[in-house]
Amino acid sequence: MTAFKKRNAVLATFTIFTLLFSCTDGRTIDGPGNLVPKTVDQDSSLPSIYANGAMLHSEAFGPENGTIVIALHGGPGGDYRYLLNGKDLAAEGFRVVFYDQRGSGLSQRFSKKSYTSLGAGAMDLIYNELHAIIAHYRKTPGQKVVLFGHSWGAILASGYAGKYPDDIQGLIVCEPGGLKWNDIEDYVKESRSFKLWSEILNDAAYMDQFISGKEDQHEVLDYKMSMLASKNDITGEGDFDSSMSWRSGAVIMDALFDIGEQYNIDFSQGIQNYNGPVLFFYSERNKAYPDSWAQKITASYHNPSVVKVSGVGHDGIVTNSTAWNNQTKPKIINLMNGL
């Protein structure tokens, strides 16, 4: 991990100095595409849709009339690149939809105030965005929809099922840290060691000598966030692979954590009204997600099917090809075929 973080620091410094002192082409350090990939509103070649007032990076695979599976990435502020093993479900006749949530990945950016000014209602903005995604891809009123969420995406999927229990026919969740805000905070604390967090803070302070972003300077803040990614021995993730993501969303992450803490958001609200099938995955190697924690979180769902995925950590439920092909995907297909 130390070697990886040193490589990141060297790369960050090289990139920063290159941009700071390359004046002949008129580039600026926070210009689109200089530090991080462009978003869909900056690059028209990227696949996108317009939903709930935002340009969203999105694409779909499989027959348009098939049962829809909507993949919801982690974060907040992640992107769907690491979930692309889910494309395999298209070969089974399902319509698999991916999208980067607003302010995340390659989707359009918005100011922090655009979220915080809504107070607890900011989550309605996120739910309504998902509602619009379903409306965009659903071709007939009777077309079935299943939500497939990982980490933060599993929390979002659960909250949506509570708000719109009749809008979906299946719920697949992979290691939501918690559903009540206190549980989410406890999980975050358990999944981040003091040593790891100290190293991250030290690297952040080092990078601040060369580059500091204002509150809504998305390119700079997203770049810094990506440079601070690292291996996590607690959650069972291996060395961080930068090819598993496109771009971080620092502002949306910061905003939603502030809102969650201030308003004590409860993502389990209304979940008792959802009576469809629930498939719950958790991993063997995530030390912050023991059997007792899985039992605590699954208690909010109605009759969930619980699967412990062996040999992997938090992300490996989806990203590890062996676990995906032999454990995760077959269970998902069984649920889908049973609808």
Residue 213, token pair as written in the block:
């972003």
Handedness of CA 22, 24, 30, 34 (dihedral sign): negative
Residue 283 pLDDT > 90: yes
Res 279 pLDDT > 70: yes
Query: What confidence score (pLDDT) does residue 236 get?
Result: 87
Task: Give the model's pLDDT for residue 258.
Answer: 93
β pairing state of 68-72 and 95-99: parallel
Backbone phi, psi, residue 336, to 5°: -65, -45
Residue 24's pLDDT is 47
Sequence-separated (6 or more) residues with CB below 8 Å from residue 317 = 150, 174, 175, 281, 282, 283, 309, 323, 324, 328
pLDDT attached to residue 32: 82
Least confident of 8-17, 34-43, 186-195: 8-17
The pTM of this model reads 0.89
For residue 3, pLDDT beyond 60: no
Backbone phi and psi for residue 150, each to the nearest 5 degrees, phi listed first: -120, 130
In the chain, % of residues over pLDDT 70: 83
Q: Across residues 42-68, what is the average pLDDT?
A: 98
Predicted pLDDT at 145: 98
Question: Is a pLDDT exceeding 70 seen at residue 73?
Answer: yes
pLDDT at 157: 98
pLDDT > 70? residue 7: no
Q: What residues contact 84, with CB distance under 8 A and at least 6 apart?
A: 98
pLDDT of residue 212: 57
Size (the chain), residues: 339
pLDDT band, very low/low/confident/very high, at 18 (cuts 50, 70, 90)? very low
CA distance 5 to 201: 12
What would the pLDDT profile of 89-133 be if each residue is shown by its tens digit?
A: 999 999 999 999 999 999 999 999 999 999 999 999 999 999 999
Query: Higher-confidence residue: 224 or 137?
Result: 137
At 196-249, the pLDDT tens digits run: 444 444 554 444 544 455 678 899 889 888 877 767 889 987 655 667 899 999
Q: Torsions phi, psi of 266, nearest 5?
A: -115, 105
pLDDT of residue 208: 52
What pLDDT sits at residue 29? 61
Burial 16-28 (b: 16+ CB within 10 A, else e): beebeeeeeeeee
Which candidate, 125, 182, 174, places its Cα nearest to that of 151? 174
Q: What is the pLDDT of residues 184-211, one digit of tens each?
A: 999 998 987 544 444 444 554 444 544 4
Alpha-carbon separation of residue 192 from 155, 174, 235, 290 (angstroms): 19, 19, 8, 15
